Chain A
Amino acid sequence: MPRRHTERITSPAATTVGRITTTGRRLPGEGGLTEVLQLLVNGLAAGCIYGLIALGFVLIYKATEMVNFAQGDLLMLGAFAAYTYIGLFGLPYWLGFILAVLSMAIFGFTLDAVVLRRVIGQPQFAVVILTIGLGFIFRSAATLIWGPDIRTLGTPFSNSISQFGPIVIPDVNLSIIGGTLAISGVMYGFFRYTKLGVAMQAASQNQLAAYYMGIPVRLVFSLIWAISAGVATVAGILLAPVSLIDPSTGFIAIRAFSAAVLGGFTSLPGAVLGGLIIGVIEQFSALYLDEGFKDVAAPVVALIVLAVYPQGLLGQRQRKRV
């Protein structure tokens, strides 16, 4: 690896010649600032999706100390729900969007109230296996209901682009970034300023004390699952025009998982930040590094960051005085 690196610095032309140009590998700076900005925007868009999925992981983990390995499959179900409303029933995009998010929120709520509430307090591996199992069930159910084919979702943003100076951005990416900004804003306001939002934080921080305050903790946890499923659905719908919809769409959550870990796994802003970092790294490594690095670069960076900051970037440090 070092060999190739020096080669590149000394004679950029020579190295590019021998390579298969179709992989799109290039050298930093070759395309100029425009290319870097272009990649950055694309990376941010991808990162937003990771960030939204990571938000779901963190929300549930903070509240119930469960790692929900079915988070990606909630995203997949959400995308299929939107496809059903918009593609099959022919509803307008925004109406279908809202209905899909609402249906999935109800689904998340019920999932917690009926299934997951029972494993609270059980050993961690029981929870892990349960959520992995739920993921399998969701994928099979999706295959049974919608079939294994790849579906497309027509959106108002598909097939159009916006130009900002020299940078060309597909509107789909803009919708992803805009949607993530909106969700982050709503979540910040909700958790910061509403009584229910603060009560959710309280229930996550000290369950027993929350009971003493008269907070209906179980209901609050189910609501957190509802929010988490709703956010996953938003991510799924925003992602749909880019990655298309099929029962294995949810595997994207594996990469979002490293985003959540990178951000500290207990911090909502950290989840979004981690997502953005992973997204940008993936874009740049796909273009400037050898093939295969795209999938490895992000986890490697996450590992390095965690070695330096074991709490993650924005992880909460428990400060308790006696």
Chain B
Amino acid sequence: MAEPLLQVRNLETYYGPIVAIRGVSLDVHAGQIVTVLGANGAGKTTILKTISGVMDPQKGTVLFEGRPIQKMNPDKVMRLGISHVPEGREVFPFLTVQENLAMGAFIRHDRAGIARDTDMVCDYFPRLRERFKQPAGWLSGGEQQMLAISRALMARPKVMLLDEPSLGLSPLLVKEIFEIVLRVNREQKTTILLVEQNANVALNVADFGYVIEVGRIVMEDTGPRLLEKDDIKEFYLGLKEQSARGGRRWKKRKTWR
């Protein structure tokens, strides 16, 4: 396989004296959807923030198209082609949907292309077209998530970093959004690095997955194979064969999903 589009090597990032990720390495190949799974506080968001330049790593490198981008300013990283959809959407509440999308295309100057892409994201998420002139703060949580993804797509990124898009959304909406994420990946050839707690939906769309626990990668494999692993089934999917330990399975469960 060709050289990965995005390579993270031995990354260590701290919040003050507290270590958030300790020596994480992962590869994202062009065109793939790669997911990072983990519980609260495992360090998933920190990985994305370090890649997009909001946080600086103490050690390690992030290579994008072969060049180091760690410690670069977030707006520079963005201009290289990495868009970040932050946890909790972070839309601009008093700007309209239209203006939010225009801000997503802030670094671009091709009017025709921007208009085309605005149409494109509205085709993916027709509800944004209905709410086009409304302030983003008036949208529901699901619509804000759609807007946040669309806004990131407006920059025509090579890689999109998606931070917990399922957070706080109904299972139906999560399904809808992930279907579109998959379509974007296939149709726009956008490489996606997806961070999730919801292992089931994430592994169903992902080509490759990493499992992270307290700042370290403890497991990595292709999406379908991870879905088959017993630990994943037990701790992240909440499934377990009845026979093994009988009725006590709930005591072992680590997440609610």
Contacts and interface: CB of A to CB of B under 8 A. Distances in A.
Interface in A214-239: 214-217
A318 B83 CA distance: 26
A316 B138 CA distance: 13
A206 B90 contact: yes
B20 to A, nearest CB: 17
A214 B99 contact: no
A182 B104 CA distance: 31
Interface string B70-112: 0001110011000110101011111100010011101100000
A205 B90 CA distance: 10
Contacts of B152: 212
A69 to B, nearest CB: 26
Given A195-B102, A213-B106, A214-B107, A320 B86 contact: no
Closest 5 CB pairs of A and B: A214-B78, A209-B90, A214-B107, A211-B74, A214-B75
A254 B105 CA distance: 41
A320 B155 contact: no
B52 interface: yes
Interface residues of A, number: 23
A128 interface: no
Contacts of A199: 103, 106
Given A202-B92, A321-B144, A322-B168, A213 B103 contact: yes
Interface string A148-181: 0000000000000000000000000000000000
B140 interface: yes
A321 B103 contact: no
Contacts of A118: none
B103 A320 contact: no
B238 interface: no
A319 interface: yes
B168 A211 contact: no
Contacts of B137: 318-321
16 contacts: A195-B102, A199-B106, A201-B99, A205-B92, A206-B91, A206-B93, A210-B103, A211-B78, A212-B78, A212-B90, A213-B103, A213-B104, A214-B78, A215-B106, A321-B137, A321-B139
Contact of A195 (B83, B92, B106, B155): B106
Contacts of A206: 90-93
B95 A320 contact: no
A211 B54 contact: yes
A208 interface: yes
